[in-house]
Structure 1
Amino acid sequence: MAPSTLHSSRTRAGSLGSIESKHGLIGSVSRWWMRSYTSDWVAFSLLLVGYIFIAAFVEPFHRLFTINDIRISFPHAEVERVPVSHLFAYALFLPLALLTLTNYLLSSPRHIHHLTTLGFLTSIILTTFLTDLIKNMVGRPRPDLIARCQPHPDTPPNKLVGVEVCTQTDHHTLHDGWRSFPSGHSSFAFAGLGYLALFWCGQFRVFSSSSSGGGGVIDGMEKVLVKRDLLKALLCLSPLLGALMIAISRCMDYRHDVEDVCVGAVMGWVITYWNYRRYWPRLSSGRCEEPYSGMTGEREYAGQGDVNGRYGRVRDEEEGAGGGFQRNVGTFDLTPPVELGPLGSPT
């Protein structure tokens, strides 16, 4: 490690240590804030409030259109193949139940249960918030806009007109016609079911190329072959197949164009993968089934807790045996450096 980097790390660690050493209410709150995931839950709550505000009070930008535009003249499906209630069942409640069941069958400690639920819900709300924000700003007409709008018979063709020519009285049906890009069903499905697929890949070690031995540092760096199990791989792929079916149904109902669905699916997958990696190592890691860090008392099963009551660490493949390059994966390492004496003659 470079001297400047080492000095910076020690400076940050010293500042964190000074915060934890404070007494009274400020010190107690600081220690509680640093040793918990409260900031993540606060951010989740803010996103939830922001989404509710957008859904309840924000109307989309209404692009101009022509009543003889064939691209927005498809019929309006009164009965959707995947209505919102079914979307919540398929991409929210079912994945959450399967995540909980997986942790229960694997006898995971409460820290794993906590991070699994937190990561899943954060992926859902962040994806939904950003999708609705973009929907309202873009204001792209849906393929069934004319059927929703029911323009006045005197509306001239081949002329750009606005929402004022519509005779539709149902507020949601009308204004939702300008929320085509990107597809909310697609992003939501790939956020919820995509997180389930990533979690299963990590827990079942589908892409892991090595397995850590149990023992010391040297044993932990040994490479052990892991059998590639096609059945597990197909199980992990099944949530993505379900998300794909939900996305395709939006084109079948003429709610979205292909590009709306593709962009929504990519958004949901990218946001979910980014959020998954905030808590879990890459899927090819030898320790991909363990989160980056946890509070003392919640990681006893792996012996990762720090004796001083701070976060533990998870060793990654980049870390060399015997204390080579060590990646800070959870929080700052607040333990003081160990001074090594001169090497003695071999015995």
Structure 2
Amino acid sequence: MTRRPFLFGVWLRLHGVDLITMALMGALGLGIYEAPPAPSRSFPLYFQNGEVVYPQFAYPLRKEIVPIWAAALIAFFAPFFFFTLFQIRRRSLDDWLSTTMGLLKSLITAAVFQVFLKWLIGGLRPHFYDVCKPNVPANSAPSGIGFASLMYDRSVCTGNIDDIDDSLESFPSGHSTAAWAGLFYLALYFNAQLKVMSAHNPAYWKMILMFCPLLGATLISGALTIDEFHNWYDVLAGAVIGTSTALVAFRQTFASIFDFRFNHILLPRTTSLFHRQPVLPAGVQYPFFTYQVATGDLPFTREGGWARGYKASDAFSRGNSAGGEGSGPAEVPVHAFNGA
């Protein structure tokens, strides 16, 4: 079988709408990120006896262990490095560009999602009181708003305006969102390309490598609770957002998320607004696995029968064709074809 020759101009026309959409989403996210908090948030300071209401928001302002720019760079460049490295075996510019596009879809979607929540919902960071520096004596009679005049707004703050804006936008965590959107996508990619959860018992180092991105995302997220830049629920919400966008972006890019037979197969883009003529090899019909057999798509690993002309993994599908996990017709698995 021969690969369809890659034409960058065709690829650009097929994915042009996505590129424009990502640029617009990025601009929207940046604009919202730079905007001040939307609502006027109220917060308590002292009880009537002078006791601090929420001491969990009275931590000192510290330097971030992992700055937001570092978290964003790690979330993109760590996966991008391995996408590039794995081209030693994949050898497809289409695969390299489309896989990277999937990563960007995950990161940009997650970023816009979380900045909207920060802007409209937000919340107090653990160091809010220290940044706010309220001009309200601790033992004075309540002079705020709301019931018993116990609540205040940012008009009582005397600190730096930018720091106050930032300290009112704690929920969700941008660090966690970026880390999980990028590094969870990388973990899925490792599972697909190395067949960590497959029809054979792979080398242990592959399992370790798959968990490394998850460890990295957890460390970045956890550091935010140590330096008191986020509450635990901010971190959890960011992880949920990032994980969700990674799952959807990976499934849009590849034929499956967890099915080991197909999760390395790049789904083709055949038409778009800028390219109406379907792009498929001559004589090849859908479904997608037929297309991929013709183009010779293989994962990075060659262990367990995932190599040219070797059919060891086909036995799994035959044994499960009647149903259950991994079930399906024996002729479907792409790696089982000679020359595939």
Over 3 Å counting, the alpha-carbon distance change for 1:141 and 1:201 in structure 2 is: same
Equivalent position SS for 2:202: coil
- Give the alignment partner of residue 275 of structure 1, picking from 230, 235, 249: 249
CA displacement, residues 248-274 of structure 1 (integer Å, 9 cap, x when unaligned): 111111111111111111111111111
> How far 1:179 moved relative to its partner?
1.0
- Give the alignment partner of residue 113 of structure 1, picking from 92, 96, 102: 96
- Give the alignment partner of residue 51 of structure 1, picking from 29, 39, 64: 29
Alignment of 1:4-153 (within 5 A): 36-67=14-45, 68-103=52-87, 105-153=88-136
Query: What is residue 236 of structure 1 aligned with on the other side?
Result: 210
List alignment gaps of at least 5 residues for structure 2.
1-9, 46-51, 143-148, 272-278, 293-325, 333-340
Over 3 Å counting, the alpha-carbon distance change for 1:92 and 1:137 in structure 2 is: same
Separation in structure 2 between the aligned mates of residue 161 and residue 308 of structure 1, nearest angstrom: 71
CA displacement, residues 1-29 of structure 1 (integer Å, 9 cap, x when unaligned): xxxxxxxxxxxxxxxxxxxxxxxxxxxxx
> How far 1:134 moved relative to its partner?
0.8
The percentage of counterpart residues that share the same residue type is 26
> How far 1:312 moved relative to its partner?
7.7
- Give the alignment partner of residue 282 of structure 2, picking from 303, 307, 311: 307
TM-score between the two structures when normalised by the length of structure 2: 0.71
CA displacement, residues 118-176 of structure 1 (integer Å, 9 cap, x when unaligned): 001111111010001011111311111101101014476571000110001x3321111
Query: What is residue 179 of structure 1 aligned with on the other side?
Result: 169
Separation in structure 2 between the aligned mates of residue 59 and residue 310 of structure 1, nearest angstrom: 52
After TM superposition, what 4+ stretches of structure 1 lie above 4 angstroms from structure 2? 32-35, 154-158, 308-312, 315-319
* Aligned: 1:160 with 2:151: yes
Query: What is residue 181 of structure 2 aligned with on the other side?
Result: 191
> How far 1:78 moved relative to its partner?
3.2
Partner amino acid, structure 1, of 2:153: G
Tell me the number of residue pairs that the alignment of Structure 1 and Structure 2 aligns.
268
List alignment gaps of at least 5 residues for structure 1.
1-31, 210-225, 297-303, 324-347
Equivalent position SS for 2:43: coil
Query: What is residue 227 of structure 1 aligned with on the other side?
Result: 201
> How far 1:322 moved relative to its partner?
7.2
> How far 1:289 moved relative to its partner?
1.5
Contact kept, 8 Å, 1:294 with 1:312, in 2: the verdict is no
Separation in structure 1 between the aligned mates of residue 176 and residue 188 of structure 2, nearest angstrom: 17
Contact kept, 8 Å, 1:35 with 1:310, in 2: the verdict is no
Separation in structure 2 between the aligned mates of residue 65 and residue 81 of structure 1, nearest angstrom: 27
Equivalent position SS for 1:134: helix
Equivalent position SS for 1:36: helix
Partner amino acid, structure 2, of 1:306: P
> How far 1:311 moved relative to its partner?
8.1
> How far 1:71 moved relative to its partner?
4.3
Partner amino acid, structure 1, of 2:61: A
Over 3 Å counting, the alpha-carbon distance change for 1:310 and 1:239 in structure 2 is: same
Alignment of 1:243-322 (within 5 A): 243-280=217-254, 281-294=256-269, 305-307=280-282, 313-314=288-289, 320=329
Separation in structure 2 between the aligned mates of residue 234 and residue 227 of structure 1, nearest angstrom: 14
Equivalent position SS for 2:75: helix
RMSD between aligned residues: 3.0
> How far 1:34 moved relative to its partner?
11
Over 3 Å counting, the alpha-carbon distance change for 1:173 and 1:58 in structure 2 is: closer
TM-score between the two structures when normalised by the length of structure 1: 0.69
CA displacement, residues 184-240 of structure 1 (integer Å, 9 cap, x when unaligned): 11111101111111111111111233xxxxxxxxxxxxxxxx233321011011001
Contact kept, 8 Å, 1:182 with 1:260, in 2: the verdict is yes
Partner amino acid, structure 1, of 2:72: F
Over 3 Å counting, the alpha-carbon distance change for 1:309 and 1:174 in structure 2 is: farther
